[in-house]
């Protein structure tokens, strides 16, 4: 419920992508938003107002002269009640009209009369999107402070392929959540690790662990939404990269070490969330080991580099945050790890409380003491961690 209490007006204009707006209403409502839909006449040729009314639980507004408003000023009243207006899809015609201050229907008039922010999700044929007139209109809207979401590239309803597809409803919801998130890390460059590493024994076998990467990916998402420029060095996981986050895929601890050290000097913050293997196989086999090769093959282990410690030791290096997943004695082990690596903050959890799952229980340890966080979904804990990091950085600055 990351949009709980937010009042959003969703404007729907004419275009085949209007059918996606129905799912957008559902997803916004699922996140707790109060959604009011306003449609252009063209939009009704693709999706009916009844569909949006059923999904939002509210009457849909279509007419600038709608008499349901006591003062017959829907364009004023709807915008004044909103925390945000989103237009999705936003057709080429609609973008042109609002770029030039037109007020010839309810939605355009509402946009012109608003005193709340506006986001638009363009949707049109690739040639319409690439037309110089559309590019000028979009550039003007950006200068005017309008947020432009997308468009994406891909196959279009006309059968052509290129830029102009409306972002998927899930992507728009992520953008809306990010829009409302306090930008406590604005201007910061954040480098982090997540997921397990895989240390090869032979071409098909290896040493790894049960880390799902969910906590790290939640932190990356929260940091990006808080305004940071996030680079995520990720071990092998089955997760999509958070929107707006640059992901660098790696396999082994040595791969992760190389990727991190190549970027650490440019980072303001480093967060080591990954469950990095402590050891790797020194004598990994070039070919698959066979049972009938005569006895159990010897496996020699050597220690992997300590990525967090090396980053923390850099001269003028980033503000470092570590993670400690323990099965017992959490405070003692986490504090020992924090002092040994000389880092200002470590987030600790017991493995049985959330390793690999969707929820977790974190305890933050810093110079001021111990800060337990209530059990919660990892997305919530990630936001709380980001807020705590921002507070410590503010004090450091």
Cβ-count burial 22-41 (b if 16+ within 10 Å, e if not) = bebbebbbebebbbbbbbbe
Question: Strand 359-360 vs strand 376-377: parallel, antiparallel, or unpaired?
Answer: antiparallel
Which one of the listed residues 142, 158, 302, 351 is annotated catalytic? 158
Q: SS3 for 322?
A: strand
Peptide bond into 89 cis (omega under 30): yes
Asked whether 232 and 270 are in contact (CB, 8 A), the reply is no
Q: Is 158 a catalytic residue?
A: yes
Q: Which of 33, 82, 92 is nearest to 61 (CA)?
A: 82
Residue 333 · residue 326 · CB < 8 Å: yes
What the block records as the tokens of 51 is 């569909």
Q: CA-to-CA distance for 233 and 308, rounded, in angstroms?
A: 13
Query: If residue 49 lies in a helix (H) or strand (E), which one and from where to where?
Result: helix 49-56
With the CA atoms of 13, 16, 17 and 19 taken in that order, what torsion angle do they form, in degrees rounded to the nearest 10? 90
Q: Counting Cβ atoms within 10 Å, is residue 267 exposed (0-12), middle (13-18) or buried (19+)?
A: buried
The two beta strands, 84-90 and 7-12, are: parallel
Active centre residues (catalytic): 158
């Amino acid at each position: 419920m990351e949009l709980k209490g937010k009042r959003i007006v969703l404007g729907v204009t004419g275009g085949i992508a209007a059918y996606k707006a129905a799912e957008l209403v559902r997803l916004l409502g699922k996140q707790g938003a109060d959604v009011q839909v306003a449609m252009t006449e063209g939009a009704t040729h693709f999706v009916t107002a009844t569909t949006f009314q059923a999904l939002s639980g509210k009457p849909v507004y279509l007419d600038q002269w709608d008499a349901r408003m006591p003062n017959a000023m829907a364009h004023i009243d709807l915008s004044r009640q909103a925390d945000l207006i989103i237009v999705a899809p936003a057709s080429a015609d609609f973008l042109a009209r609002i770029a030039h201050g037109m007020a010839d229907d309810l939605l355009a008039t509402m946009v012109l009369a608003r005193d709340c922010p506006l986001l638009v999700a363009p949707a049109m044929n690739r040639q319409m999107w690439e037309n110089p007139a559309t590019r000028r209109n979009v550039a003007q809207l950006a200068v005017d402070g309008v947020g432009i979401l997308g468009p994406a590239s891909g196959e279009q309803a006309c059968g052509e392929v290129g830029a102009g597809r409306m972002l998927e409803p899930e992507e728009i919801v992520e953008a809306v959540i990010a829009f409302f998130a306090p930008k406590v890390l604005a201007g910061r460059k954040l480098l982090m690790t997540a997921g397990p590493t895989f240390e090869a024994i032979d071409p098909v076998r290896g040493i790894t662990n049960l880390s799902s990467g969910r906590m790290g990916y939640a932190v990356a998402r929260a940091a990006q939404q808080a305004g940071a420029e996030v680079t995520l060095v990720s071990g092998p996981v089955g997760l999509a990269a958070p929107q707006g986050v640059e992901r660098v895929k790696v396999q082994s601890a040595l791969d992760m070490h190389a990727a991190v050290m190549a970027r650490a000097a440019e980072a303001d913050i480093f967060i080591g969330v990954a469950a990095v293997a402590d050891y790797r196989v020194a004598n990994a086999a070039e070919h698959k080991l066979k049972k009938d090769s005569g006895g159990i093959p010897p496996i020699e282990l050597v220690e992997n580099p300590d990525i967090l410690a090396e980053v923390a030791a850099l001269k003028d290096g980033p503000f470092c945050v570590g993670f400690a997943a323990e099965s017992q004695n959490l405070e003692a082990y986490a504090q020992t790890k924090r002092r040994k690596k000389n880092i200002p903050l470590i987030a600790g959890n017991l493995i049985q409380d959330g390793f690999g799952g969707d929820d977790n229980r974190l305890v933050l340890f810093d110079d001021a003491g111990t800060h337990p966080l209530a059990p919660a979904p990892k997305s919530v804990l990630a936001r709380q961690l980001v807020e705590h990091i921002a507070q410590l950085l503010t004090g450091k600055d």
